[in-house]
Amino acid sequence: MNILSTLRALDPQPVRPQKEAKPQQTKGIEIKSKREVDLMRESARIVATVLKEVAAMMQPGMTTKDIDTYAEKRIREMGAVPSFKGYCNFPASICASINQEVVHGIPSAKKVIKNGDLVKIDTGAYKNGFHGDSCITIAVGSVSEKAALLMRVAEEALYRGIAQVKPGNCLLDLAGAIEDHVKAHGFSVVEDFTGHGVGRNLHEEPSVFNFRTHQLPNVRLRPGMVLAIEPILNAGSKRVRFLADKWTAVTVDNQLSAQFEHTVLVTETGYEILTDRNLV
Ligand code: MG
Ligand code: MG
């Protein structure tokens, strides 16, 4: 069976290849007005705040359910609604994926966070009609050298991609920069999920892929586009499989996975990271 038919559409998005690339596709891609961008800044700020707080509070012995409960409380306190909860029937406000879990880990009171874990926390907030979306990887206590390197390269890869965001550049410029950086360190880019446009919907056009491909539209960037850029790196094979819960994707070889994501606005001259945690 084709793996694509088994993927659930949470965040990041499953890849849906097209038969033919459309290099200049703009149809279906929203250009946000200044007013809409201002509203998105608020949703993105809430997401950044929650992730910053979660990174500071995470300790061995906590469960991923504890983190979910905290994140939902904070999102609601700031006047927003968790973007993920109920999306395609996902039961929680965050995805919490530990070590070899790649994406879409379901928070659970049985999942205890341990010293040495790499924990990916992905969350979204919806307020005033717009979503913000971001993901971080947190090193709990002291992690292995390899885990620390994977995490560092994952964050660097995100910023390499973001550095390519400017009017006139295309999605392949982002993807190439990400892929090259990851491969230079001997890691792999997961190809089963992509980033996406974000705005009134959690997932909008285009698919923001993190690897060179001609199976997805190579969109030219224009001011006012807002993209969720979210490379996923595996220490070993790029391939993933799904657990019996039908949500959690894990690496096929049980090796580690790391991910970072930002919601990024294309400006007249380059980019603005709307989920920047340094600004909250
Ligand atoms: Mg996303
Ligand atoms: Mg996300």
All domains of the chain, ordered by start, with CATH? 27-279 (3.90.230.10)
Q: Look up the pTM and report it.
A: 0.93
Q: What is the pLDDT of residue 5?
A: 36
N-terminal to C-terminal alpha carbon distance within the chain: 45
Instruction: Encode pLDDT of 125-144 as tens digits.
Output: 999 999 999 999 999 999 99
d(C-alpha 264, C-alpha 273), whole Å: 5
Pick the ligand that lies closest to the CA of residue 196: 1
Hey, is 88 helix, strand or coil?
Answer: helix
Q: What is the pLDDT of residue 4?
A: 38
Token readout for 264 is 């990024």
**Contacting residues for 235 by C-beta, under 8 A, at least 6 apart:** 146, 150, 187, 188, 251, 255, 256, 257
Q: What is the pLDDT of residue 39?
A: 98
One pLDDT digit (tens) per residue for the chain, 280 residues? 233 333 456 888 777 655 544 445 566 899 999 999 999 999 999 999 999 999 999 999 999 999 999 999 999 999 999 999 999 999 999 999 999 999 999 999 999 999 999 999 999 999 999 999 999 999 999 999 999 999 999 999 999 999 999 999 999 999 999 999 999 999 999 999 999 999 999 999 999 999 999 999 999 999 999 999 999 999 999 999 999 999 999 999 999 999 999 999 999 999 999 999 999 9
CA of 44 to the centre of ligand 1 (A): 12
Q: What is the dihedral of CA 58, 59, 65, 70, to 10 degrees?
A: -40
CA of 116 to the centre of ligand 1 (A): 26
Q: What is the pLDDT of residue 14?
A: 78
Per-chain residues with Cβ under 5 A from ion ligand 1: 11, 133, 228
CA of 207 to the centre of ligand 1 (A): 10
| Residue 218 near residue 196, CB atoms below 8 Å | no
CA of 101 to the centre of ligand 2 (A): 15
